[in-house]
Structure 1
Amino acid sequence: MTKFDPLICHERFLNAETAIHDLLLCARQGDPQILPIVGPSRVGKSTLLRSLPSAPRGTSHREVLIVTSPKHLSRRALPDACLAALGLMPDLYRNQVMADQALLKGLKQAGTRLVVFDETQHMLERAGSTTARAAGDFLKTLFDEARCSVLLLGLPSMLALFQANEQLAGRSRREIEYYPYQWDGDEFLAFRAALAGALAALEEWGWQTFSSNDVEFARRMYLASAGRYGVVHRLFQEVVATAQGSAKHADYPAFAQAFDQAIMQPGECNNPFEQSLVVETEHLARAYVSVMPEVFAPHGGC
């Protein structure tokens, strides 16, 4: 069976996606910029990259270069990760200077206009202030000399890179916050619109499921996801992947099973899709608060 993996362009996604495409457009027009996008785990930050141009088959062209930030940071680790993403062999370059020169040359030959660093907070894990500043220096030099836009995706803790390096901060746009939807008001309406998109995609696959205006299901899905669309997406994928035989019923038992199998919960937590559970507003508020420590985790500065 083909994997259920629809791209649902909900409000949070569209706002960030537009900013990313503007970033690439600015680079094409000779005005590269640096943009951080921050948010807690499983909101769907990495999904933003799916709409960017991919490399044509059989060519070395890389208008957009996506680099996974190295977990064990050293000054050499960052150019090596970029070289590897370009399809080059970092071990061929004996020292830092050679690696940096090879990277700049490789970016030019590949026609790179946008360099994306995913999981940017890795640059700060197990890194002291000196190493964090060196990482900022690398990003600043890459931006200045390669004349590429730079997109930084990661947890909000990655903003310490800018606090450790004022020159990098001076070159950057203000961060975009890709946070979970809240549980009430316009935010909850936007969450329901995102959920409706996933339900419509499931129906297009021939499934019987909940109505898009089913508020009770939306509240239970909010409790399960804490307002993070990435979790909603994962639960829908799990429902499809674990379907028994030809049955295509995405009902409460199917989502309850998907939640049990796909979502790790600390402690003894009730399954939000068990209909014996009465979902109160305070449950929704607690779910939202539970993921916000990643947003407000200390990342240096004042």
Structure 2
Amino acid sequence: MRDFLDIGDLPEDSLGHVFVDTFETKAMFMALDNLMASPRTASNGRGVAVLGPPRCGKTLLVKEYLRRCLRGDASDRGDLAVTRRPLKYLYVQLPPGTRLNTIPSHTLMALGHPAPTAGKHDTTQTADVISMIVDGGYELVIFDEVHHLTSSMTKSVRENGSHWLTHILDQTRCPMALIGYSRFGRILQENPFLGGRLVPATPLEPYRRSDPQRFATFRIILQDLERGLKMDAPSKLYAVDTAACLLVSCGGRIGLLENLLTEARQLARNRKHSCLTRDVLAEAVESMRLSWSNLRFNPFRVEDLAAAVEKHGECFALAEDGPR
């Protein structure tokens, strides 16, 4: 099984190697630091929810935190005396259609249990999860795609799912990171037993051109990503007009921005361009629109971006999978 943190098979010039510190990422790193520093007392396990819309970099952020722990790197905390060290973690990705009676088996599968589906989910399987986490010396359990617990489920079933997570927290005393779409916050609101165990963390949000501070941060991100592209000549992606078009094109989502820039770089190389021109970026957006069907116009092919945004909206809505 591939390691959660492994990026060794990515090309050297892949934007997957680029991570840009922002106010939002630093705040989430601080929440994770606070989680790891919380006392592990009986029946008082703690967790943190890393929530936000699709492709906002939630999982990437947790991966980067763990990599910094591996390096002992706490430079994002400034002059504060924060110690980070390698953590033994368990990563569990919950597939679509996950139910209360399948969470334990998915967790056992990630733990390497020889018979993860054997026994009843609420007794044998749950007991095995607890013992394997405790005996394995895990220091952080990560449940990714937790929003799948909200799909087609009654309120009582959702509550039982969150009670199971709370039970694991209490019995293992192992910190837990819950990664998922914003709608998972509904479970936390419905169940104070789980919500009350979480270290405060502000959900991630897409960048907006209408917010001057966040638009300025987006331009800084573009500077770092451009360096990561390793083109022969500067593309000046951070220029106000270009940055505005890019932000609208990707809906302010960094994951989609990386895909767009990677596509544009390949187009530029095919045409033997030394940088990303506006025409290349327009063509890349048009290509990506095949899968971003709700991007209603190409920002690089309108004369008045402000007027187009006023007519169609600043950011397209990338629908979250499953019913809300």
TM-score range, shorter chain: 0.7 to 0.9
Q: Identify the residue that residue 172 of structure 1 maps to in structure 2.
A: 198
Post-superposition Cα deviations, 1:192-236, rounded to whole Å, max 9, x if no partner, equal: 11122212222xx24424226511111111111222222222212
8 Å CA contact 1:53–1:63 kept in 2: the answer is: no
Contiguous gaps of at least 5 residues in structure 2: 1-10, 71-85
Post-superposition Cα deviations, 1:67-103, rounded to whole Å, max 9, x if no partner, equal: 1124223322111111111222344632221111211
Residue 145 of structure 1, CA deviation: 0.5
SS at match of 2:141: strand
Distance in structure 1 (CA, Å) of the matches to 2:251 and 2:53: 11
Q: Identify the residue that residue 160 of structure 1 maps to in structure 2.
A: 186
Could you tell me the TM-score, scaled by structure 1's length? 0.82
Distance 1:28 1:130, change over 3 A: closer
Q: Identify the residue that residue 215 of structure 1 maps to in structure 2.
A: 240
8 Å CA contact 1:223–1:287 kept in 2: the answer is: no
Could you tell me the TM-score, scaled by structure 2's length? 0.77
Distance in structure 2 (CA, Å) of the matches to 1:51 and 1:199: 20
Residue 48 of structure 1, CA deviation: 0.8
Distance in structure 1 (CA, Å) of the matches to 2:315 and 2:247: 12
Contiguous gaps of at least 5 residues in structure 1: none
1:196 maps onto 2:196 in alignment = no
Give the alignment of 1:36-51 within 5 angstroms.
36-51=49-64
* 1:81 partner letter: H
8 Å CA contact 2:248–2:316 kept in 1: the answer is: no
Q: Percent identity?
A: 19
SS at match of 1:273: helix
8 Å CA contact 1:123–1:135 kept in 2: the answer is: yes
1:181 maps onto 2:207 in alignment = yes
Q: Identify the residue that residue 80 of structure 1 maps to in structure 2.
A: 105
RMSD value over aligned CA atoms? 3.2
Q: Identify the residue that residue 134 of structure 1 maps to in structure 2.
A: 160
Distance 1:53 1:215, change over 3 A: closer
SS at match of 1:257: helix
Distance in structure 1 (CA, Å) of the matches to 2:281 and 2:108: 43
Q: Identify the residue that residue 119 of structure 1 maps to in structure 2.
A: 145
Distance in structure 1 (CA, Å) of the matches to 2:310 and 2:234: 22
Distance 1:85 1:52, change over 3 A: farther
Q: Identify the residue that residue 251 of structure 1 maps to in structure 2.
A: 277
* 2:220 partner letter: A
Number of matched pairs: 290
Distance in structure 2 (CA, Å) of the matches to 1:285 and 1:142: 49
8 Å CA contact 1:62–1:110 kept in 2: the answer is: no
